Amino acid sequence: MCRHAAWLGPSRSLSSLIFEPDQGLLRQAYAPRMQRFGSVNADGFGVGWYDPSLSEPVRYRRSIPIWADANLPGIAGVARSSCLMAAVRSATVGMPIEESATAPFADGIWLLSHNGRVQREAVRPLAPGSESACDSAWLASAVFALLREGIPLARTLPLVVRGAAEADPAARLNLLVCGGMELAATAWGDTLYAHLGEGVLVASEPLDDRPGWQAVPDRNLLLASPDGVLVTPID
């Protein structure tokens, strides 16, 4: 399982997901505390953020360990946004290790990350194509196809998760999607936590030991917007 995190709220830097917290994604890349599958996340990393002057989010992805990129601390310190995403990757056996297989995947305003694994045959019928042979890239393509049709995020994620899980009951489908003004995450086979304060912080596992982190129950969908946060069962 990879580890991912996102923020929706008053503008803050990418460092707040990666470098500043004790258990930020930098540390979760080599010493995650709750990872059930795999032990380190050294097969790449990616970040994405929204700049009000641009119509689409900015991404930076690499296929090297997050700790090996000497330029990232500088970039993460100045990349500030009210909507942020970051992910570190532990590639599933057989999946390519390349930038195009690394989250966040993107389409228009959307950014997507996946913790888990799914048989590609289970998602190919739902997806028009994929930028990489990686299962997560296929899954992202399936989600983006429905979002392009105008189906809201709140309906799209349960549709894709149910469809993929029906075809592959052993699939693990923790998805995280940002749209700039909204954020959604599924818990389906791995841990997911949320911390509510002046905004909402969502992460595979807590980024620090502050009180207030709440576990999202398995098979639930978390939806966050400026109006608040809602957690609902997927099935």
What are the residue numbers of the active site? 2
Going by their DSSP bridges, the two strands 105-107 and 58-62 should be labelled as: unpaired
Pick between residue 119 and residue 214 the one whose CB is nearest to ligand GLN.
Answer: 119
**Of 63-71, 112-120, 176-184, 214-222: span binding ligand GLN (CB under 6 A):** 112-120
Pick between residue 15 and residue 118 the one whose CB is nearest to ligand GLN.
Answer: 118
- Contact between 114 and ligand GLN by CB under 6 A: the answer reads yes
Longest dimension (CA), the chain: 43
Residue 53 Cβ vs ligand GLN, minimum distance, rounded to whole Å = 31
How many residues would you count in the chain? 235
Pick between residue 15 and residue 90 the one whose CB is nearest to ligand GLN.
Answer: 90
**Of 45-53, 108-116, 153-161, 177-185: span binding ligand GLN (CB under 6 A):** 108-116
Question: What is each CA distance from 216 to 26, 84, 139, 199, in whole angstroms?
Answer: 23, 20, 21, 17
- Contact between 38 and ligand GLN by CB under 6 A: the answer reads yes
Between residue 129 and residue 148, which ones bind ligand GLN under the rule CB under 6 A? Answer: 134-136
What radius of gyration do the chain's Cα atoms show?
Answer: 16
Bridge partner list, 229:
224
Residue holding tokens 């290790």?
97
Pick between residue 81 and residue 136 the one whose CB is nearest to ligand GLN.
Answer: 136
Between residue 161 and residue 190, which ones bind ligand GLN under the rule CB under 6 A? Answer: none
Q: 147: helix, coil or strand?
A: helix
Q: 193: helix, coil or strand?
A: strand
- Contact between 117 and ligand GLN by CB under 6 A: the answer reads yes
Amino acid at 224: A
CA–CA distance, 160 with 63 (Å, rounded to integer): 27
Residue 182 Cβ vs ligand GLN, minimum distance, rounded to whole Å = 23
Pick between residue 12 and residue 89 the one whose CB is nearest to ligand GLN.
Answer: 89
Among 29, 72, 91, 173, binds ligand GLN (CB under 6 A): 91
Work out the burial of residue 209: count CB atoms within 10 Å of its CB; fewer than 13 is exposed, 13-18 middle, 19 or more buried: exposed
| Binding site residues, ligand GLN, CB under 6 A | 1-2, 38, 89-92, 95, 101, 114-117, 134-136
